[in-house]
């Protein structure tokens, strides 16, 4: 169908744009990588939105992965970057698996606020244990080797850009497959009817836990990549505002298709660049106003608009 | 821990519980009627606080008597409750009434984001405070420690008065009974000729007023900084969730519990201070997923 | 023929209302039970207890030889019990076809993560079931766009998709236009016989009850007041007085 084609075209064009921009204007590499990181994190948050749940604390997984990277890189400077990233993702998956067991028992505002509460505890702990975590100043990470090669800053960023882009495309594809699989559709069933899930012999908690576990890993990966590109981790990576930004992007992009996360992240990054240049100090205000606008005008997000526009709102294809 | 410290912690906790109760009550009242957990409630607390401090500073400069300073606190809360509460309800919540619950929640979150920046634009980022009224009301001796009358007597007295007043209003007045009816079952209440829309607005403003009143009462005792709203929404949520959404007496008891536990932590394990309310909430929700005072009801299928 | 479901002194009250009053009941394989009774008699409550949605205050339930008292619905469903609801329980954001596909996928208990839903189930089986309940031409519409009658059919079809040993249907024909009721019941019963599914349905229409049931149980105020062959039960004094209003 045409939509499948549209999304492939968008993916190819978007990827080319990222690469060309990044290589032509080296300063843009960092914002592009950061944007892709936000997109990857939002893939995870969007999975929760499909289940009808919003988490105001998911950024904690970025924080957990980021600090894991920082601790390991400082303890063993010879560790390879890829290994650091994998370790970060592993840590966030582990945390997600444990926290998940608890939070999947709750829905709606309870789910949102419990995630927030846990992330706030983590946030304050990191802030308090200065000697270990560097407090609010955070921790610096020296540039590690990547796949055994040592890179200068520019080369390092280029490799990260390509790697992040590849990860974004691959994960976008996998997450979309997940959304359309039996597990993913059951996940969406949590939003509409848990009683029926139960009477199909399924455990709604188990279904949600699976989604939560993946989402923690995705947000974790984004945090690990973010830490690498910035060379720095701070508690802000896990602040409620960051969690809110992920939710914002998920709604802005729409959760009808995995690519929505990246469309949302792209718009988000552009607005952020714009706001940093012309409207300093009103970032949250801008986010809030946009969010209200999106909810009132296009509650299905950008991807919803595109799907409606091509009159292909059927849930098939991909 | 010495006895003095224990008394001090108890006094702190008692006073803090009063504030916490006011804010939580507003949150839970709105939830009961509208079915929406208003994330922007924390901003109402912050705006109430800042507005009260502004009025109080101005009144202090004009050498106003103590009762005027006190009245200024209430006036600030009323102003914020009516104006911001009204805008939120009419301008926003009504428009998303039929939408997905996720979107309803996010709309209040969006309002919260906007208010956070507005507050920074209006009052800046440096600490803001006006403690005049506290010092004017003097101190009192409590088993050998000195504590301010304002915190030890006035705040708890206001909280108690609001609690009893609200219980009375809900049970005895016409408006109160209508509110209870809408809380119980919106459709049935509408069928009985109750204007649920109007009740919704009134409750929302009343709840917003309580949130702002919490902030206004807190203003003379602390210095306000950006972020107070965030802390308060999470904290008052933990009270409301621990008690059970919509539970008024539950919120009263839980606010006391959490307020006390938190101030004990301040003196005994300061690094746990932030975590204590959440730990209590998590522990309670593990055992009773709907909160302490909610009786779970099976959905009709 | 063995006993499929059995209860012993099953009871539950809501505040003052006694919704199940020490009910002793059993159903044999191969039976087609119709449950009749006034509104509020406790028919749905009894189903809710038997399927684990409500926990009884006293008594026990056995399904297919196992004590299932207090078990979660999903575990009882796994033992071979399917249920449709008085208020249809559908995935309203999914298409009609997807609702059935999810059911079919759930049957194995293992949901795939990467295989598209439609490819993880047997399309012909879905088509067949859609055909059975007359929803073939609406299969790509959202469940939320269906009128009440068709929602009930989809609800029944989702339960049927599980290939249960026992199918409990709570008022399957309410909301269905009266001229379609007989066709629907005839088709359903044929499908159930084909698959050797024991069935139990709640029904208010006496005509349908006497036509399709092999046994009737009459509920009055949380008790089984009469139980036996349709003709006998429908003619009994208590049933005529309390339920049919013809005495
Ligand atoms: N979850 C519940 N909470 C409180 N009371 C309930 C609940 N479910 C049912 N009841 C009460 O229990 C009694 C039996 O209800 P039930 O729904 O089982 O009746 P029914 O026979 O299925 O009626 P209908 O023909 O109207 O479906 C009624 O008085 C009802 O009000
Ligand atoms: Mg019933």
Yes or no: say if B56 and B265 are a contact pair by the CB < 8 Å rule.
no
Across the interface, whether the CB atoms of B117 and A283 are under 8 A apart is answered: yes
Per-residue pLDDT, C178: 85
How large is the angle between the packed helices B101-123 and A108-128, nearest 10 degrees?
40
* Residue C215 and residue C184 share a domain: yes
Across the interface, whether the CB atoms of C53 and B300 are under 8 A apart is answered: no
Which of these three, C133, C163, C193, is where a domain ends? C163
pLDDT at A260 over 60: yes
* Residue C116 and residue C226 share a domain: no
- Tracing tokens 């504590």 back to the chain, one arrives at B147
Note the maximum CA span of chain A. 58
Per-residue pLDDT, A318: 39
- Strands B145-148 and B139-142, by their bridges, are antiparallel
Strand partners, C66: C63
CA-to-CA separations, A67 to A116, A181, A224, in angstroms, rounded: 19, 33, 8
CATH at C75: 3.40.50.300
Contacts of C208 (CB under 8 A, 6+ apart): C34, C173, C181, C182, C185
**Backbone dihedral angles phi then psi of residue C146, each to the nearest 5 degrees:** -75, 145
Alpha helices (H) in C28-122, listed in sequence order: 43-50, 73-78, 96-106
Per-residue pLDDT, C247: 65
> A53-67, B284-298, C8-22 — which one is most confidently predicted on average?
A53-67
Per-residue pLDDT, A197: 97
Q: Which ligand is nearest to the CA of C35?
A: 1
* Residue C154 and residue C183 share a domain: no
Yes or no: say if A36 and A262 are a contact pair by the CB < 8 Å rule.
yes
Q: How far apart are CA B199 and CA B192, in angstroms?
A: 13
pLDDT at B268 over 50: yes
Across the interface, whether the CB atoms of C72 and A198 are under 8 A apart is answered: yes
pLDDT digits (tens, 9 = 90+) for A96-147: 999 999 999 999 888 998 999 899 889 888 888 888 888 888 999 999 999 8
The CA C41 to ligand 2 mean position distance, Å, reads 8
Domain assignment present for residue B268? The answer is no
Yes or no: say if A148 and A159 are a contact pair by the CB < 8 Å rule.
no
* Residue C76 and residue C113 share a domain: no
Domain assignment present for residue B271? The answer is no
Q: What is the DSSP string of A147-199?
A: TTB---HHHHHHHHHHHHHHHHHHHHHHHHHHHHBHHHHHHHHHHH-HHHHHH
pLDDT at C7 over 90: yes
Contacts of B298 in chain C (CB under 8 A): 48, 53-54
pLDDT band at A281 (very low <50, low <70, confident <90, very high): confident
* Segment holding C3, helix H or strand E: strand C3-14
pLDDT digits (tens, 9 = 90+) for A219-252: 999 999 999 999 999 999 999 889 999 999 999 9
pLDDT at A164 over 60: yes
Q: Using alpha carbons, select from A29, A11, A47 the residue that is nearest to residue A168.
A: A11
Across the interface, whether the CB atoms of A185 and C107 are under 8 A apart is answered: no
Cβ atoms within 10 A of the Cβ of A234, count?
22
Yes or no: say if C4 and C200 are a contact pair by the CB < 8 Å rule.
no
pLDDT at B143 over 90: no
* Residue C232 and residue C123 share a domain: no
Q: Which domain holds residue B24?
A: 3-228
* Residue C198 and residue C144 share a domain: no
CA-to-CA separations, A90 to A242, B156, C123, in angstroms, rounded: 21, 49, 38
The sign of the torsion formed by the CA atoms of B168, B171, B173, B176 equals positive
Contacts of B123 (CB under 8 A, 6+ apart): B50, B54, B224
B-to-C residue pairs, Cβ atoms closer than 8 angstroms: 11
C245, with CB counted inside 10 A (0-12, 13-18, 19+), is: exposed
Domain assignment present for residue B202? The answer is yes
Which of these three, C125, C140, C163, is where a domain ends? C163
Cβ atoms within 10 A of the Cβ of C69, count?
19
Which of these three, C114, C142, C163, is where a domain ends? C163
Q: How far apart are CA C73 and CA C54, in angstroms?
A: 9
Yes or no: say if C172 and C156 are a contact pair by the CB < 8 Å rule.
yes
* Residue C207 and residue C233 share a domain: yes
Contacts of A62 (CB under 8 A, 6+ apart): A41, A92, A219, A220, A222, A223, A226, A237, A238, A242
Q: What's the DSSP call for residue C117?
A: G
Per-residue pLDDT, B275: 83
R_g of chain B, CA atoms, integer Å: 19
Q: How far apart are CA A264 and CA C246, in angstroms?
A: 66
pLDDT digits (tens, 9 = 90+) for A289-308: 999 999 999 999 999 998 87
When scoring C88, C92, C93, C143 by the number of chain A Cβ atoms within 10 A, the one with the most, hence best to mutate, is: C93
Contacts of A118 (CB under 8 A, 6+ apart): A57, A60, A99, A103, B278
Q: Using alpha carbons, select from A224, A45, A37, A211 the residue that is nearest to residue A144.
A: A224
Per-residue pLDDT, A317: 43
Q: Which residues, numbered 103 to 132 in chain B, qualify as contacts with chain C under a Cβ-Cβ cut-off of 8 Å?
A: none
- Strands A139-140 and B145-148, by their bridges, are unpaired
* Residue C103 and residue C209 share a domain: no
Partners for C (CB, 8 Å, 3+ pairs)? Answer: A, B
The CA C39 to ligand 2 mean position distance, Å, reads 7
Per-residue pLDDT, A60: 97
Domain assignment present for residue B280? The answer is no
* Segment holding C171, helix H or strand E: none
Domain assignment present for residue B234? The answer is no
Q: Which domain holds residue C155?
A: 89-163
The sign of the torsion formed by the CA atoms of A244, A249, A250, A254 equals positive
pLDDT band at B269 (very low <50, low <70, confident <90, very high): confident
Yes or no: say if B109 and B38 are a contact pair by the CB < 8 Å rule.
no
pLDDT band at C36 (very low <50, low <70, confident <90, very high): very high
Q: How far apart are CA B218 and CA B158, in angstroms?
A: 12
Q: How far apart are CA B110 and CA C122, in angstroms?
A: 45
pLDDT digits (tens, 9 = 90+) for B59-112: 999 998 999 999 999 999 999 999 999 999 999 999 998 888 889 999 999 999
Contacts of A291 in chain B (CB under 8 A): 106-107, 109-110, 113
pLDDT at C227 over 70: yes
Q: Using alpha carbons, select from C1, C53, C46, C64 the residue that is nearest to residue C227.
A: C46
* Residue C114 and residue C67 share a domain: no
Across the interface, whether the CB atoms of C89 and B301 are under 8 A apart is answered: yes
Per-residue pLDDT, A315: 47
Yes or no: say if C34 and C215 are a contact pair by the CB < 8 Å rule.
yes
Give the SS3 label for residue B137. helix
**Average per-residue pLDDT in chain A?**
92
Q: Using alpha carbons, select from B33, B3, B13 the residue that is nearest to residue B182.
A: B33
Number of domains within chain C: 2
pLDDT at B192 over 50: yes
Yes or no: say if A106 and B289 are a contact pair by the CB < 8 Å rule.
yes
Yes or no: say if B150 and B157 are a contact pair by the CB < 8 Å rule.
no
Q: Which ligand is nearest to the CA of C219?
A: 1
Q: Which atom of ligand 1 is nearest to the CA of C45?
A: 18
Domain assignment present for residue B178? The answer is yes
Domain assignment present for residue B55? The answer is yes
When scoring A46, A55, A103, A109 by the number of chain B Cβ atoms within 10 A, the one with the most, hence best to mutate, is: A109
**Average per-residue pLDDT in chain B?**
92
Yes or no: say if B215 and B255 are a contact pair by the CB < 8 Å rule.
no
* Residue C175 and residue C66 share a domain: yes
* Residue C3 and residue C73 share a domain: yes
Q: How far apart are CA B213 and CA B154, in angstroms?
A: 13
Q: How far apart are CA C106 and CA C117, in angstroms?
A: 11
Contacts of A178 in chain C (CB under 8 A): 113-114
Per-residue pLDDT, A313: 45
* Residue C142 and residue C76 share a domain: no
When scoring A129, A279, A295, A297 by the number of chain B Cβ atoms within 10 A, the one with the most, hence best to mutate, is: A295
- When mean pLDDT is compared across A114-123, B269-278, C197-206, the lowest value belongs to B269-278
Partners for A (CB, 8 Å, 3+ pairs)? Answer: B, C
Instruction: Name the closest-CA residue to atom 24, ligand 1.
Output: C39
Residue of A nearest to C155 (CA): A196
Question: Does residue C119 belong to the interface with chain A, where contact is any CB pair within 8 Å?
Answer: no
Q: How far apart are CA A268 and CA A42, in angstroms?
A: 11
Number of domains within chain B: 1
Per-residue pLDDT, B1: 63
pLDDT at B19 over 50: yes
Domain assignment present for residue B217? The answer is yes
Measured at the alpha carbon of residue B226, what is the angle toward residues B225 and B227, in degrees to the nearest 5? 110
pLDDT band at C1 (very low <50, low <70, confident <90, very high): low
- Best substitution site from C19, C39, C88 to test ligand 1's pocket, by max atoms within 8 Å of Cβ? C19
The CA B78 to ligand 2 mean position distance, Å, reads 49
Question: Does residue C85 belong to the interface with chain B, where contact is any CB pair within 8 Å?
Answer: yes
Q: pTM, whole model, 2 decimals?
A: 0.92
R_g of chain A, CA atoms, integer Å: 19
Contacts of C48 in chain B (CB under 8 A): 298, 301
Q: What is the mean pLDDT of residues C205-226?
A: 93
């Amino acid at each position: 169908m045409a939509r499948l084609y549209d999304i492939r075209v968008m993916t190819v064009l978007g990827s080319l744009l990222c690469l060309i921009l990044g290589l032509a204007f080296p300063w843009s590499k960092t914002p592009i990588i950061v944007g892709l990181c936000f997109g990857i994190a939002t893939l995870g948050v969007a999975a929760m939105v499909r289940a009808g749940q919003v988490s105001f604390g998911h950024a904690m997984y970025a924080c957990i992965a980021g600090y894991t990277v920082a601790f390991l890189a400082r303890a063993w400077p010879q560790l390879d970057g890829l290994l650091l990233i994998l370790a970060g993702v592993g840590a966030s998956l582990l945390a997600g698996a444990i926290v998940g067991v608890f939070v999947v028992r709750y829905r709606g505002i309870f789910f949102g606020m419990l995630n927030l509460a846990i992330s706030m505890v983590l946030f304050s702990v990191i802030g308090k244990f200065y000697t270990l975590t560097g407090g609010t100043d955070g921790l610096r990470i020296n540039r590690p080797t990547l796949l055994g090669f040592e890179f200068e800053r520019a080369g390092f960023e280029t490799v990260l850009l390509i790697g992040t882009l590849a990860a974004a495309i691959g994960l976008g594809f996998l997450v979309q497959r997940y959304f359309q699989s039996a597990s993913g559709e059951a996940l969406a069933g949590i939003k509409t009817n848990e009683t029926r899930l139960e009477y199909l012999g399924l455990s709604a908690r188990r279904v949600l836990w699976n989604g939560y576990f993946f989402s923690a890993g995705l947000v974790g990966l984004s945090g690990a990549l973010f830490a690498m590109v910035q060379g720095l981790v701070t508690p802000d990576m896990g602040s409620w505002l960051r969690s809110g930004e992920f939710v914002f992007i998920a709604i802005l992009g729409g959760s009808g298709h995995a690519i929505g996360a990246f469309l949302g992240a792209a718009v988000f990054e552009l607005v952020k660049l714009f706001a940093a240049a012309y409207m300093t100090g009103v970032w949250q205000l801008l986010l809030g106003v946009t969010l209200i606008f999106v909810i009132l005008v296009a509650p299905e997000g950008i991807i919803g608009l595109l799907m409606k526009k091509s009159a292909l709102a059927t849930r098939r294809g991909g | 821990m010495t006895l003095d410290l224990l008394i001090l912690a108890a006094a702190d906790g008692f006073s803090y519980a009063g504030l916490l109760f006011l804010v939580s009550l507003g949150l839970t009242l709105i939830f009961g009627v509208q079915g929406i957990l208003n994330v922007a409630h924390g901003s109402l607390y912050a705006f109430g606080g800042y507005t009260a401090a502004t009025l109080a500073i101005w009144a202090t400069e004009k050498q106003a008597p103590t009762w005027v300073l006190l009245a200024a606190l209430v006036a600030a809360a009323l102003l914020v409750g009516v104006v911001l509460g009204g805008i939120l309800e009419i301008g926003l919540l009504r428009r998303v009434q039929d939408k997905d619950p996720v979107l309803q929640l996010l709309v209040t979150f969006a309002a919260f984001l906007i208010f956070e920046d507005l507050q920074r634009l209006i009052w800046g980022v440096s600490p803001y405070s006006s403690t005049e009224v506290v010092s004017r009301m003097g101190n009192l001796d409590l088993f050998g420690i000195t504590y301010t009358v304002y915190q030890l007597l006035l705040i708890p007295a206001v909280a108690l008065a609001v609690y009893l007043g609200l219980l009375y209003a809900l049970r005895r007045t016409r408006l109160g009974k209508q509110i209870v009816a809408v809380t119980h079952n919106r459709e049935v209440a509408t069928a009985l000729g109750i204007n649920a829309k109007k009740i919704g607005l009134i409750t929302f403003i009343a709840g917003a007023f309580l949130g702002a009143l919490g902030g206004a009462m807190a203003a003379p005792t602390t210095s306000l900084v950006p972020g107070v709203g965030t802390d308060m929404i999470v904290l008052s949520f933990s009270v409301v969730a621990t008690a059970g959404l919509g539970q008024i007496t539950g919120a009263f008891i839980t606010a006391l519990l959490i307020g006390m536990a938190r101030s004990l932590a301040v003196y005994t394990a300061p690094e746990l201070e932030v975590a204590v309310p959440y730990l209590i909430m998590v522990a309670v929700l593990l055992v009773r997923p709907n909160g302490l005072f909610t009786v779970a009801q099976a959905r009709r299928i | 023929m063995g006993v499929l479901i059995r209860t012993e002194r099953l009871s539950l009250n809501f505040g003052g209302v006694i919704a199940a009053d020490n009910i002793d009941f059993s159903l044999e394989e191969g039976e087609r039970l119709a449950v009749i009774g006034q509104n509020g008699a406790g028919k749905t409550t009894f189903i809710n207890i038997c399927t684990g949605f409500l926990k009884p205050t006293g008594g026990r339930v056995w399904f297919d030889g196992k004590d299932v008292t207090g078990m979660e619905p999903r575990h009882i469903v796994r033992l071979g019990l399917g249920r449709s609801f008085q208020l249809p329980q559908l995935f309203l954001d999914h298409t009609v076809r997807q609702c059935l596909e999810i059911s079919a996928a759930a049957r194995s208990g293992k949901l795939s993560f990467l295989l598209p839903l439609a490819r993880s189930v047997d399309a012909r089986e879905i088509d067949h079931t859609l055909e059975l309940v007359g929803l073939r031409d609406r299969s790509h519409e959202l469940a939320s766009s269906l009128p009440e009658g068709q929602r009930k059919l989809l609800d029944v079809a989702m339960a049927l998709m599980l290939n249960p040993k026992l199918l409990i249907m709570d008022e399957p024909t309410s909301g269905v236009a009266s001229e379609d009721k007989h066709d629907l019941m005839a088709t359903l019963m044929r499908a159930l016989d084909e698959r050797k599914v024991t069935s139990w349905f709640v029904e208010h229409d006496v005509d349908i009850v006497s036509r399709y049931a092999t046994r009737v149980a009459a509920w009055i105020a949380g008790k089984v007041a009469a139980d036996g062959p349709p003709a006998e039960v429908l003619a009994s004094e208590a049933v005529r007085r309390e339920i049919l209003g013809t005495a």
